[in-house]
Structure 1
Amino acid sequence: MAVHFHEEDLPAGVLADGPIAVDTETMGLVTPRDRLCVVQLSDGHGDEHLVRFRVGSSYDAPNLKAALADPARLKLYHFARFDLAAIEHYLGVTAAPVFCTKIASKLTRTYTDRHGLKNLVQELLGGEISKAQQSSDWGAPEINEAQREYAASDVRFLHRLHAIFVERLAREGRTEMAQACFDFLPTRARLDLAGWAENDIFSHA
């Protein structure tokens, strides 16, 4: 298992076929304001790939964009809504089809309100991940080893969690409902980008 660091694009041919786990690191939580700094990917075979974009980047990353936009390749996320918005705004592609472990957790782990990735890894996989670098400076000139390990850990477990949640959704009779949610997520991300992040357009208000 290794963490591979790349500048500005993903090398060609480094990902195996099949689903890929995806995550992003940005300068903050306001997507149009806070630039995309890192995209993390894993094909589930033991390695993680981090693609870093420096300040002023043109985000011209053809290999990365091709993988993210591939309609035949499932993308696994934890809180896909945020990552989809960042990827669409900065890279200009819709990184779908989608499976979101946070939504799957909320639909199946109704016995708890703890749906963070750290909680899922602890309960379902018996592992531990550190969130110490979550709020660190991802736009710094150098991304240190602690940041790289944190970024890699955000995609390292998603394939295993995906397999568990596929079974749990089926067990609870919520597979179809989950799929409808996943299919809507790119539109939900576009609503966020267009200014409807907090207003529920489905409400009576």
Structure 2
Amino acid sequence: MTDRHVIDSEDEYLDAITKIEAGHGPIAVDAERASGYRYSQRAYLIQVFRRGAGVFLFDPPAIGRFDALNDAIRDEEWIIHAASQDLACLREVGLDPSRIFDTELASRLLGLDRVGLGSVVEELLGIHLAKEHSAADWSTRPLPESWLEYAALDVELLVDVRDKLDALLTESGKQEIAAQEFEATRLRQPKLVRQDPWRRLSGLHGVRGARNLAVARELWTARDTLARERDVAPGRLVPDASLVAVVKAQPRSSAALAAMRDFKGRASRTDLPVWWAALERGLTTDDLPPLRPASSDVLPPARSWSERNPEADARLKAARTALAVVAESLSIPLENVLTPEMLRRLAWTPPVPLDAATVGDALRGLGAREWQIEATAQTIALAFVEGNQTASEPQKSES
């Protein structure tokens, strides 16, 4: 096994840029975070490979900004596996590509059964790529040699994978589809911060009443503040289940809170005053949250449509069936032919008049790519007409 070296000084960093510039062809890029361990989603290791240059392992906390590297390689094609997961943390340190080739996305468009990097490498190159360190705490220092070898292989094989996938895309006539998908991924904007993020608390659906929701909100907020300050994943301080247990039990003293068996986590006792203060705020505040989130553009769950909007339910079901046929003919997963969210929004509020042109315009407004519109607009329009007819049939029979 090759000894892998982590670049953590300015001189080594600048020397690496010179070597990368001297290489040839596209550039494989990957990043390792510490999800589940740290609050932030920053990169704790960035890997780069280019033919004729080799593998380079960079330590982002030590180096800081990567603007000089970005200036050197920005206009080259970057190969990233599951780019949507890594682009945010790469951009945080100044790495922002102008062109990408997403090997995971290409694998999906080609209809591969498994699209994880290890599976794709094994299917296309016949090489078994162990993935035992994918969920490791990459903020660890020093990084173990076995982790570094794992990280290096993630990019060292990526250019060969890209070439195999590109050949298959050409053979299947999907190069233009892939190009549109890669560009859409590169340009996709980060999701907006959700209104009332504390409502994401797992198990909150079992909490009833505005007062109890206020307690849940204060406990979640206290944990989030503490986690942010310490850069620790919130669930590692106190898990969601423990916070919900406190909401339901509502102990009447700090001692009673400490005595709860269901109140667990590394910070459950060491930061007991924090949790008790949050519980008291929730129990006494006049600022009670609404039982449901304030009006937003979030659609109701599809399972409730048959009662809440039977016409939309009929349209959605007819379109899903029709699009499944399209997906099969293209050998592309249905969710890649058109995202479920786009189809739901279109079914809930269809365009008027209802035809392929207006459906296409509506899809474009929702962010669909041109190839998706070409492949689905006519099918959706016809399915919606069929769904409307189906929804009206019971009314006709009753009259």
TM class by shorter chain equals 0.7 to 0.9
**AA aligned opposite 1:59:** G
- The answer to whether the 8 Å contact 1:37/1:52 transfers is yes
Within 5 Å, give how 1:143-182 maps onto structure 2. Answer: 143-182=143-182
Give distance in 2, aligned partners of 1:63 and 1:173.
37
The structural deviation recorded for 1:30 is: 10
Query: How far apart are the structure 1 equivalents of 2:32 and 2:42?
Result: 9
Kindly provide the CA deviation profile for residues 60-115 of structure 1, in whole angstroms up to 9, marking residues without a partner as x: 233323245x22x0000110111112111x2134223000111111111x2x4311
Q: 1: CA distance between counterparts of 2:38 and 2:175? A: 30
Correspondence for 2:133: 133
**Amino acid across the alignment from 2:78:** K
Hey, what does 1:65 align to over in structure 2?
A: 70
- After the TM superposition, which parts of structure 1 deviate over 4 Å for at least 4 consecutive aligned residues? 29-32
2:50 paired residue among 43, 46, 64: 43
CA 1:2–1:64 in 2, change beyond 3 Å: closer, same or farther? Answer: farther
State the distance in 2 between where 1:80 and 1:31 align: 21
Give yes or no for contact 2:3–2:145 (8 Å, CA) kept in 1.
no
Work out whether 1:33 is the aligned partner of 2:34.
no
The answer to whether the aligner puts 1:83 opposite 2:82 as a matched pair is no
Partner SS for 2:25: coil
Check 1:58–1:122 CA distance in 2 against 1; reply closer, same or farther (3 A cut): closer
> Displacement, 1:31?
10
Deviation at 1:48? 1.1
Following superposition, the deviation at residue 136 of structure 1 comes to: 1.4
Q: What is the CA RMSD across the aligned residues, in angstroms?
A: 2.6
Q: Check the 8 A contact 1:21/1:42 in 2, yes or no.
A: yes
User: CA, structure 1 residues 46+117, in 2 after alignment: closer, same or farther (shift >3 Å)?
Assistant: farther
Check whether the contact 2:106–2:165 (CA below 8 A) recurs between aligned residues: yes
Which structure exhibits the higher relative contact order, with contacts defined as CA atoms closer than 8 Å and separated by 6 or more residues?
Answer: 1
Is there any run of 5+ residues in structure 1 with no aligned partner, and where? none
Matches within 5 A, 1:88-103: 88=91, 90-103=92-105
| 8 Å Cα contact 1:25-1:39 kept in structure 2 | yes
Q: Distance in 2 between matches of 1:133 and 1:177?
A: 33
- Cα shift at 1:148: 0.4
Give the secondary structure class of the aligned counterpart of 1:141.
Answer: coil
Quote the residue 1:185 is aligned against.
185
Which one has a larger percent strand, Structure 1 or Structure 2? 1
Give CA-to-partner distance per residue, 1:152-173, whole Å, 9 cap, x none: 0110111111111111111111
Task: Report which of the two structures shows the higher radius of gyration computed on alpha carbons.
Answer: 2
**Residues 65 and 59 of structure 1, relative CA distance in 2, 3 Å threshold:** farther
Contact 2:37 2:137 in 1 (8 A): no
CA distance in 1, matches of 2:6, 2:98: 23
For normalisation by structure 1, the TM-score amounts to 0.83
Q: Could you say what secondary structure the match of 1:87 adopts?
A: helix
Instruction: Label 1:146 to 1:161 Cα distance change in 2 as closer, same or farther (>3 A).
Output: same
- C-alpha separation between the residues in 2 aligned to 1:173 and 1:31? 42
With over 3 angstroms needed to count, the CA separation of the structure-2 counterparts of 1:99 and 1:21, relative to structure 1, is same
Kindly report which structure 2 residues correspond to 1:91-130, keeping only aligned pairs within 5 A, or say none. 91-108=93-110, 110=111, 112-130=112-130
Q: Give the number of aligned pairs.
A: 194
Match of 2:19, SS state, is: coil
Unpaired stretches in structure 2, ≥5 consecutive residues:
195-297, 299-338, 349-399
Contact conserved, 2:67 with 2:93, CA < 8 A, in 1? no
Against the structure 1 CA distance between its residues 4 and 141, is the aligned structure 2 distance closer, same or farther, given a 3 Å change threshold? closer
Distance 1:58 1:128, change over 3 A: closer
In 2, Cα distance between equivalents of 1:164 and 1:2: 28
Over residues 2-31 of structure 1, what are the superposed CA-to-partner deviations in whole Å (9 max), with x where a residue is unaligned?
Answer: 744201663331211321000001111799
Deviations 1:113-158 (A, max 9, x none): 3111111111110101111111112111211101101110110111
